[in-house]
Amino acid sequence: MKSPFSKLLLAAVLVAGSSVTFAKDQVTIATDATFPPFESVDASGKLVGYDIELMEAVCKAAELDCNIIGAAWEGMIPGLISRKYDALISQLTVTDARRKVMAFSDVYDMPTFRFVARKGSDIDVTPAGLKGKTIAVQTGTPMDAYITKNYPDSNIKRYSGGSEPYLELNAGRADVHMSYEAQIIHSFLGKAEGQNFELVGPRLNGKDAPEFGEGVAIALNKSNKELLERINAGLKIVRDSGELAALNARYFGQ
């Protein structure tokens, strides 16, 4: 049962913003389940991960009936625009380019981006150092945009899933991969297949390059202002109650 505090806060936020309510019976939320520990599929076929738990908490706080489904990364934003999906949660960074085609909730995370390479490679991750080298990235991501802009003389290999680049590293078909630091640590370096690899180069974020965005948020169709209000209200409850901090601590020790 929802606590009286949560009900009062949700009502206050909604009344302050607008008197309209979201009338749809069920909210369909898509995620790219190839990016652990944020979103993946467990052995039983269930969606699990940080973003999944966060979205479930937000929906509960906002009193929304949400159906979170797995979807291919490359089809998620077109699906949101065409209203196939009501919202997206998949470590989506907020950028000026994305603001042109979709709306965002309040930011709930500020990611750091890093390179990962084989231990002892002493690889130089500057554009000059990676000239002629192979960089693996997930297509259509902030990492892809950053690498494309800054590493024109490198061989860039793009993959649809967030886990595929690690297979390329292990097979020797890529020299480096760029991703979220937390994702590299918790889904690769902490496992047997990542024991021969390490983080290399500087820690980067949106202050270092616009491609990395303003932070991570839930994406919605630009015309769906009512749902945006409800999700922001739910996110505020989750943050103010300490549930978001507890989720960060459990997944990342923060």
Question: Nearest CA to 114 among 190, 215, 200, 189?
Answer: 200
Over residues 152-177, the pLDDT tens digits come to 999 999 999 999 999 999 999 999 99
Within 8 A by CB and 6+ apart from 253, the residues are: none
Over residues 213-238, the pLDDT tens digits come to 999 999 999 999 999 999 999 999 99
Which three-class secondary structure state does DSSP give residue 62? helix
Reported as a pLDDT band with limits 50, 70 and 90, residue 9 is very low
Cβ pair 188, 116 in contact under 8 A: yes
Supply the pTM of this predicted model.
0.86
Over residues 175-213, the pLDDT tens digits come to 999 999 999 999 999 999 999 999 999 999 999 999 999
Q: Is the pLDDT of residue 16 over 60?
A: no
Is residue 111 classed exposed, middle or buried when 0-12, 13-18 and 19+ CB atoms within 10 A define those classes?
buried
Mean pLDDT of the chain: 91
Rounded-to-10 torsion of CA 245, 246, 250, 253 = 40
Integer-rounded Cα Rg, in Å, for the chain is 19
Q: 219: which strand partners?
A: 88, 104
Over residues 56-65, the pLDDT tens digits come to 999 999 999 9
Over residues 118-157, the pLDDT tens digits come to 999 999 999 999 999 999 999 999 999 999 999 999 999 9
